A = this chain, B = another copy of it.
Amino acid sequence: MLDMAAKVLHRELTGDPPALPPQRALFGAGPANVDPRVSRALAAPLVGHLDPYFLQVMDETMAMLRQVFRTTNHHTIPMSATGSGGLETILLNLLEPGDECVVGVIGFFGQRLAEMSARAGATVRVVEAALGEVIAPERFEAELQKKPAKLVALVHAETSTGAWQPVPEVAEIAHRHGALIAIDCVTSLGGVPVEIDQWGIDAAGSCSQKCIGSPPGLSPVTFGPRALAAVRRRRAKPTTWYFDLNALFQYWGESDGPRERAFHHTAPVASIYALREALRLVLEEGLEARWARHGAAHERFADGLQRLGLELFTPATHRLPQLNVIRIPKGVDDATVRRRLLERGIEIAGGFGPLKGMIWRVGLMGYNATPERVDLLLGALAEALKH
């Protein structure tokens, strides 16, 4: 009887929404569209999470992630969670109750780092800049001079404002004051230079669905020797079991070469196939070429915006190429324009928090950072504004 009812409800449900999603050009803040090779990889035959073939896939994925992060850190893996899960991994493993943490906040995603650090039990001191601006590195110096900290955490590419925070100088300052440095490179990785080893970054977390070009669901992270030493010196286990680095590396491997793999959790096999294929595409193209392509797409888009009489919100000195933040002109309604675009199958993102209704956020990421896609978007934007 119950099953009969379930079937009726099911029929009602499955009438709407249709099983096949609409075609969308994804110019929001991510996910971006993916290369057809990545879609095919998602649908490849499943194997077990301890299958010899899959263990090779894991090693290959780690090796390619190291290249993309520009690091020799062995401890470089995709966490089985979306981007924020990777950042939580960093903060819950590096911080313990009572630790001092300095967090750079230039928007929503910096606030998220501060919130996660506080939940890890740390005493959080925030260094802020106005929305759209970035933080002068010497501000971190001043904060650390007042009182040392265990960790400095900040966002490299702030997705809520399109601002591109200088990081190498902050890393140098943090180390000079005996602090570790961790960065959120969710929106930067694959689109602009992220140089983990050259900059001396101790821990970094990113995502699969923006400039890397895979669907959302994984969070690449990397940990250097100083960060690992801090994890091993912990007084107590982290409150998280799922994101516990020590346990995770019993599965992913503490070193290269033959080793026993201990089960931790069942890896998301299909998502890792897709990430591997996306990383292959990144490395076939070459990182420098990919950064240049994102830069060129931005230039073309910025020129087009000027012709349309639209202004970018983020100052040119620290404007991200892969996330273009446009000031909504006076008299133009945010929701109307975005609805018109969506009717043509085009997604762009709005602002949130204090920037809601004031800005649009336009991602030109991965598969979408090409002249053809930029022109498609500019054409549709011109139409949507004309109405």
Interface string of A231-273 (1 = CB under 8 A from B): 0000001111111000000000000000000010111111101
Among candidates B48, B288, B352, residue contacting A3 with C-beta atoms closer than 8 Å: B288
Among candidates B45, B88, B238, B283, residue contacting A7 with C-beta atoms closer than 8 Å: B283
Binds B, one of A78-86, A98-106, A169-177: A78-86
Instruction: Return chain B residues, CB-CB under 8 Å to A54.
Output: 21
Among candidates B80, B267, B287, B347, residue contacting A85 with C-beta atoms closer than 8 Å: B80
A139 at the interface (CB under 8 A from B): no
A309 at the interface (CB under 8 A from B): no
Contact A266/B82 with A67-B6, A116-B241, A119-B238 known, Cβ cut-off 8 Å: yes
A34 at the interface (CB under 8 A from B): yes
A125 at the interface (CB under 8 A from B): no
3 residue pairs, one from A and one from B, having the closest CB atoms: A217-B268, A17-B56, A3-B286
Q: B-contacting residues of A (Cβ < 8 Å)?
A: 2-3, 6-7, 9-10, 13-14, 16-17, 19-24, 26, 28, 30-31, 33-34, 39-54, 56-57, 60, 63-64, 67, 70, 80-85, 88, 92, 112, 115-116, 119-121, 207, 209, 215-217, 237-243, 263, 265-271, 273-274, 277, 280, 283-284, 286-289, 342, 347, 349, 352
A-B contact pairs, 14 of them (CB 8 A): A2-B288, A10-B67, A10-B283, A10-B284, A13-B63, A21-B57, A31-B48, A42-B270, A47-B347, A80-B82, A84-B242, A216-B270, A239-B239, A270-B271
